[in-house]
Amino acid sequence: MAAAEELIRSEADGSISFGNYSLDKKAKAEDFENRGDLYKVKTFREITKLERNGLFVYESVPGTSVGHFTVTDQGVEFTVSCDQDAQITVQMEEDMEYEVYVDDFAVGGMKTNRSGKLNFSVELAGGGTAKVRIVRR
């Protein structure tokens, strides 16, 4: 998945795509509406951060391009692209166990902390793309 021209966009399936890891300077888009929620994205080569209705949703270091980001009652699904390995943090339910899958391979169960944040790494060096699925146990 190449870096998108838009910083954030709605997809035909109702999901959103956001971020651009190829930018040298910080860029942001605010008040982007999707399904009744307002999103804000900040992105460039060092970090990508997404907020929904003023609350934290996603962050990656370094910056990434994220496609088809979908949140359900059971978890989160998206594709992520970058030219380096990335450390990703997503907001989930607090004190809950999740199974994390990268390219349909289970990388292990993880428990969120009291703030509900779930942290994991994805190997993307060399310009890779990975499909990520996080499912509540």
Domain layout of the chain by residue ranges: 8-136
State the average pLDDT over residues 69-75.
94
* pLDDT tops 90 at residue 4: no
Joined together, the tokens standing for residue 137 give 């146990």
What CATH number labels 8-136? 2.60.220
* pLDDT tops 80 at residue 131: yes
* pLDDT tops 50 at residue 1: no
Q: What is the pTM of this model?
A: 0.94
Joined together, the tokens standing for residue 41 give 């994205």
**50 near 58, Cβ under 8 Å?**
yes
* pLDDT tops 60 at residue 55: yes
* pLDDT tops 90 at residue 99: yes
98 phi and psi angles, rounded to 5 deg? -135, 150
* pLDDT tops 60 at residue 91: yes
State the average pLDDT over residues 91-104.
96
Q: For residue 137, give every residue at least 6 positions away whose Cβ sits within 8 Å of its Cβ, in sequence order, or none.
A: 96, 97, 98, 99, 109
Give per-residue pLDDT as tens, 9-54: 999 999 999 999 999 999 999 999 999 999 999 999 999 999 999 9
Determine the pLDDT at residue 76: 98
